[in-house]
Structure 1
């Protein structure tokens, strides 16, 4: 069945319970668990569900005699090589972290190991937050894993190439592309971010031109890919893009009294071949790549360049959007 996949790599997250209780021995968290506090009501159950999904994945691969290795998300090599397919067992964060170690040659398929149940959320709405993992980027759950992998191994479900963000600072390319988004902001969330920006056309284009330069104060600037448009960008009022779209989307977060002539420029698109140029105007700054774990320090006066010129990623789409 899996002739095209000689070896797989399974990347598993560590649950919050495993990290804070098992690894760090967090005394406060242990006390909350003993008290059966609503704050950590389903923490152990979420750990159990995640572990069961991982075990089911391993059992399935063993049954099918598919060679595989397993590695924890926090122990990934700098670059994943010598495998034909990567399975991530966790949520969107696990797939995003794994993508930082992948080039355009190896496809990745996400398995949401602990998906949110709307029925559970509704039933406990007045008691505690029963939300689990969203899994927008994941193609399978424990219940659909066998069906999805069968389609993959029999080549009925093929990966698609999706765009990633290339970030450069003063001409120095950051080596890890962003699959979801990049947030550039002051490291203190209560501080004001100052910058100026403009969209620049492709140098090779005969009609190359630049948009007006916009000067703004805000709580930061976010740039996302098409598949990243369902996350923070959507929550902030951005538009959801087709997952195979080549353009990027940018948005100024909470702009402070922009000039009347520039209000419409606080949110827009970066078309294929174009780039967003940002002149950093704050003494301190951070560029957060796909969340909070991966960061780039920014200095006053540096020029940031965002484009879709990074190597693309082979990604298995969820079945519910595979036809859109």
Structure 2
């Protein structure tokens, strides 16, 4: 097997653990490559093993960091490479492994004692603009803070809602624990095949979150004279011209996480309680 290693760049503990993992795999005669940004923040890796994340062609990427680091990897790799995520963030909803369990988890991987948890992603279609797929969410925001945006969204061609709000979050079940939850959206089991639409600070309190099948095609009409901002997973941002339509559909791509337990709720609910 060939491994890639990516660490959270602003935490020395994560960078040091990344080096220990790198050294362990190299001594064990496995191919191992280190993300260029990780090396720049901890220049102790062999330069010959350093690659830009976009160029990594490996069997698995070991990510040592929080959810933001996992999302950065997702947005910079063009292939659906399985991710083993070690939690060096605040909560780490996307990570199953705690730092103290790192080498035990790697040993299980080397023995083939793991399974792949596939998570759905959503794809955005905007005329003339290439937008990356989202693992967590796509957010449409007013380009002027404090100004509301007029939005209509259609589900499979039928008008579902018309709102005036600060924006709209379109989320996967995986992203239901992120921005969508803070905006009043429901927690959705990541095993469900669904897409969430959560209004951001709607003027009318009757505008409620909506959950639709992931087979749905969602068209969002933005009726405003101001520019709007489109964000994807907090990693990609672009400004869009006013009065346009955005289409959201399930992506053919999936994110693959390395897992060791099929029990979701013990860790899932514990992290929710810690956050709230």
TM-score, length-normalised on structure 2?
0.82
Aligned-partner Cα distance in 2 for 1:73–1:239: 35
Give the structure with the larger strand fraction. Answer: 2
Partner of 1:112: 87
Q: Which residue among 146, 151, 157 is the counterpart of 2:103?
A: 146
Residue 121 of structure 2 aligns to a residue in which SS?
coil
Alignment of 1:1-324 (within 5 A): 5=1, 7-15=2-10, 47-73=11-37, 77=52, 79-103=54-78, 105-113=80-88, 115=89, 133-170=90-127, 174-200=130-156, 210-257=157-204, 263=206, 266-282=208-224, 283-291=226-234, 293-317=235-259, 319=261, 321-322=263-264
CA contact (8 A) 1:221 1:253 kept: yes
Aligned-partner Cα distance in 2 for 1:250–1:228: 11
Aligned-partner Cα distance in 2 for 1:79–1:51: 20
Q: Computing the radius of gyration over CA atoms, which structure comes out larger, 1 or 2?
A: 1
Q: 1:179 Cα shift?
A: 0.8
Residue 316 of structure 1 aligns to a residue in which SS?
strand
CA contact (8 A) 1:177 1:310 kept: no
CA contact (8 A) 2:85 2:94 kept: yes
Q: 1:294 Cα shift?
A: 1.0
What are the Cα deviations for residues 130-171 of structure 1, in whole angstroms up to 9, with x where unaligned? xxx22110122320111212222222212122111100114x
What are the Cα deviations for residues 43-79 of structure 1, in whole angstroms up to 9, with x where unaligned? xxxx332233223322332343322111145897474
Aligned-partner Cα distance in 2 for 1:169–1:270: 21
What are the Cα deviations for residues 216-272 of structure 1, in whole angstroms up to 9, with x where unaligned? 1111100111111111212222122222322111101111026xxxx2x53111312
Residue 194 of structure 1 aligns to a residue in which SS?
strand
Aligned-partner Cα distance in 2 for 1:321–1:297: 40
Residues matched between the structures, number:
254
Provide runs of 4+ in structure 1 moved above 6 Å: none
Aligned-partner Cα distance in 2 for 1:227–1:253: 19
- Residues 1:317 and 1:302: Cα distance change in structure 2 (over 3 Å): farther
Aligned-partner Cα distance in 2 for 1:219–1:317: 37
Residue 60 of structure 1 aligns to a residue in which SS?
helix
Q: 1:212 Cα shift?
A: 2.8
Compare 223-232 and 183-192 and name the one that shifted more. Answer: 183-192
Residue 212 of structure 1 aligns to a residue in which SS?
strand
